[in-house]
Amino acid sequence: MPYSPKITLLSVNGLAVALGLGAALPARAQQYQQSATGVTVTTDSLTVSVQFYAPDIVRVLKYPKGAPGQHQSLVVEQGPTPGKLRYQARGGVVQVASPTTQVRVNQQTGYVSFFTAQGQPLAAEQPGSLRFRPKTDLGAPTYRVRQAFQLAPGEAIYGLGQHQDGHLNYRGQQVMLKQRNTDIAVPVLHSGRGYGVFWDNYSTTQFADSDKGAAFDSEVGDCVDYYLLNGQGTADGVVARYRQLTGQAPMFPRWTLGFWQSKERYRSQDETVGVVEKYRSLKVPLDGIVQDWQYWGENNDLWNSTEFGNPRFPDPAGMVRRVHALHAHQIISVWPSFGQKTKIFRDLQRDSLLFDFITWPRTPHVRVYDAFNPKARDIYWSYLNKNIFSLGMDGWWMDATEPDQIQPFDTDDDNRTPLGSLRRVRNAFPLVTTQGVYQHQRATTTDKRVFILTRSAFAGQQRNGTMLWSGDVDSRWDVLAKQIPAALSLGMAGLPYWNSDIGGFFPSGQYPKGVQDPAFQELFVRWQQFAAFTAMMRAHGEFTPREIYQFGQPGTWAYDALEKFIHLRYRLQPYLYSNNWNVTSRAGTLMRALPMDFPRDPKVTDMSSEYMFGPALLVRPVTESQYVTRPNKNVPGTTDFAQVKNQPVYLPAGAQWVDFWTGERQAGGQTVQRATPIDVLPLYVRAGSVLPLGPRQQYTGEKADAPLELRVYPGADGEFTLYEDENDNYNYEHGAYATIRLRWNDRARTLTLDKRTGTYPGMPARRTFRVVLVDAQHGTGLGDETAPAREVAYTGQQVAVKL
């Protein structure tokens, strides 16, 4: 029978909690044992283990009495840590407390509740919500497990991965946590009250919030296993505790911040290299080119052989050398599935390391490798290394890491892994397959940072050097709008790096004329503007080409708008790279849902149309057509730019805001109507920001010694830390980097460049900064070359600039 405890409740500040320590002792006191890291409580039918992994991180493990109660985590990297814990047992409740977090376990029911150090309610299980439903899985006894958590009135909840439902606040919502193309399942709940819950289960899980609590209900589990993350009231604190538990995100190479060109697919090495050459001839910046599938050949029996078997790619090493000679980088598509005539298929099949389910392409029957098996991961890397990485390839596009499966799913799950059925671990497949590539490449060389672009993820995957993308989304305006909350939810779940196919992957259903249709051009322009403020700016899709020169000539509206935002992306590189360091060194978040920075502004609780990009920039993408009219999808649209349209933008309370393009200052806490000509995305800078900008350049590092511009946005005090290193390799992990703290004192009108901290090989001893004070007349938008500036010669010592 399922376990269903009953408990008397007391309401404290709107949150139901277990009776306090002074309550009457139950008729039968149950057993408990304390240890250096926590406490174990045994009831009549249940064992509850509470362990502190840090003062702000608590693991709760529950299993039926007498069961083994073991769960080896694929996600958690650290173990429980002895600390300064205090123990108390009174009134039928056992309490164990760190300096920041109190945990109380009811000895009769096993109900667990969490409090701050001051005894204020933090989080609590929903009484009566625990379920262990017996079942068998591949003949082995196990359970379907469920646990719900109480939420306070008005409490917002975020996270849970990436989903295409348009929600930011998941209060009152249901979400199926199951890896699929365009959906990323990450069982991390992030509360607006400043705590998080990581549900450590890898099977398909239904999340549902209702008056019965916010519940995780997992298909398979020998126990209930979750972690309470006490962010001490802040969203950044929750993310920091999650990364502390599951691993920090390493630095990507600096060149990944540039513009990337891709499509489905470049059919020859001449075409691939020719795209890079064309960008160079047009003097449009470009840093990366992506080689999609069928470089192995067009016969699906050779699917994903990892070898260049296609005769249109006669010299793959020469192709990579040519791309490098053009000062660009290349990544390549690899899959977890293999055709039956490939060498890697035979090696994996010999050791029974292939799953047997239907995946894409459906015919002939390609098969997915068992990434949960270390030997299979070794074989996979051996082929990638020998056939691709040895060519000098710069990174990986690991496609279909869900892995992509075709219905029905129920028989697929009966495949066996070293950890049990695929059903038991299916959601963790992207974690282990990217882990295999990351760890093997790190073991092969430390001279080149691992960069993996992939469309699926699980908790902990940030440590594998992965950049996520939103999958094969449709080319529609409503889909563009939904990319924003999808990205922000993933960030609130702790995974910091995300992007999407500019223009959407599937345009043919909506735009059969493709790039020749002005309606598609308008969508593509607005999507590219949004992409300039994501972790990776990458054009990709099927059916119609996506290169900038396909959209017209210089001087035409689409071409010019696209080029403008590519240049802006390159100017923002110092800001972006420093923010990436903040992600690595301080568990930061790049694309920030507004509740992260403005938790006291109720208007942003569920605002999914805007976000902060780092600490300074407020971004409001345009997600509706404004200038193109199209009677139906079979007729190209007609443009009308005679009247400039507007976009409402909410400026969060608690700050003043400066229009990036005009320098106009606005008070927070209001909605303004921002004019949005086709080449303008509403972009505001938080007053007090110091925004470092680099030079215009054709590729990352072209003008490494050029002056940097420091834009100061007055109206409040502020600071920013500029980070620099060798731009690739892992020497930064051993201290080879430098930082300069930039501090703005608004009352004194003084910008202070602090003494440089640290050093790295090749660091310039002297550099020039152009300091610009932004107002409505000077130093705005991209036309800063004529803005009045104070030129500062910086040699590493503190400098104060009066403005």
Tell me the C-alpha distance between 243 and 479, whole Å.
30
At 426 the three-state DSSP class reads helix
Question: Cα–Cα–Cα angle for 427, 433, 437, nearest 5°?
Answer: 155
Amino acid identity for residue 100 in this structure: T
Which residues, 6+ apart, have CB-to-CB distance to 536 below 8 Å? 256, 257, 260, 453, 467, 469, 497, 498, 499
Run of H or E including 135: strand 131-137
DSSP 314: S
**Direct distance between the N- and C-terminal alpha carbons of the chain, in angstroms, rounded to an integer:** 73
Instruction: With beta carbons less than 8 A apart as the criterion, state whether 419 and 411 touch.
Output: no
Task: Tell the burial category of 36 from Cβ atoms under 10 Å away from its Cβ (0-12, 13-18, 19+).
Answer: exposed
Q: Which residue has the tokens 């991209």?
A: 782
Which residues, 6+ apart, have CB-to-CB distance to 109 below 8 Å? 5, 6, 7, 43, 127
Instruction: With beta carbons less than 8 A apart as the criterion, state whether 164 and 486 touch.
Output: yes
Tell me the C-alpha distance between 25 and 604, whole Å.
45
Instruction: With beta carbons less than 8 A apart as the criterion, state whether 109 and 5 touch.
Output: yes
Tell me the C-alpha distance between 401 and 128, whole Å.
37
Task: Count CB atoms within 10 A of the CB of residue 346.
Answer: 11
Instruction: With beta carbons less than 8 A apart as the criterion, state whether 95 and 103 touch.
Output: yes
Which residues, 6+ apart, have CB-to-CB distance to 438 below 8 Å? 450, 452, 463, 464, 465, 466
Instruction: With beta carbons less than 8 A apart as the criterion, state whether 780 and 663 touch.
Output: yes
Q: Which residue has the tokens 């030129």?
A: 791
DSSP 302: G
Q: How long is the chain?
A: 803
Tell me the C-alpha distance between 686 and 568, whole Å.
18
CA 306 vs. chain centroid, Å, equals 27
Which residues, 6+ apart, have CB-to-CB distance to 585 below 8 Å? none
**What positions carry a catalytic annotation?**
399, 402, 472
The edge-to-edge listing of strands for the beta sheet with 224-230 is 31-34, 38-42, 46-54, 57-64, 224-230, 195-199, 184-191, 157-162
At 465 the three-state DSSP class reads coil
Closest CA to 209 of 269, 149, 168: 149
Tell me the C-alpha distance between 323 and 311, whole Å.
19
Tell me the C-alpha distance between 406 and 491, whole Å.
28
Q: Which residue has the tokens 């399942």?
A: 185
> What are the angstrom distances between the C-alpha of 579 and each of 85, 226, 613, 623, 707?
36, 30, 9, 26, 20
Instruction: With beta carbons less than 8 A apart as the criterion, state whether 83 and 95 touch.
Output: no
Tell me the C-alpha distance between 122 and 230, whole Å.
8
At 414 the three-state DSSP class reads helix
CA 716 vs. chain centroid, Å, equals 30
What φ, ψ does residue 152 adopt, rounded to 5°?
-75, 155
- Among the residues of 191-315, which ranges form H helices? 235-246, 269-282
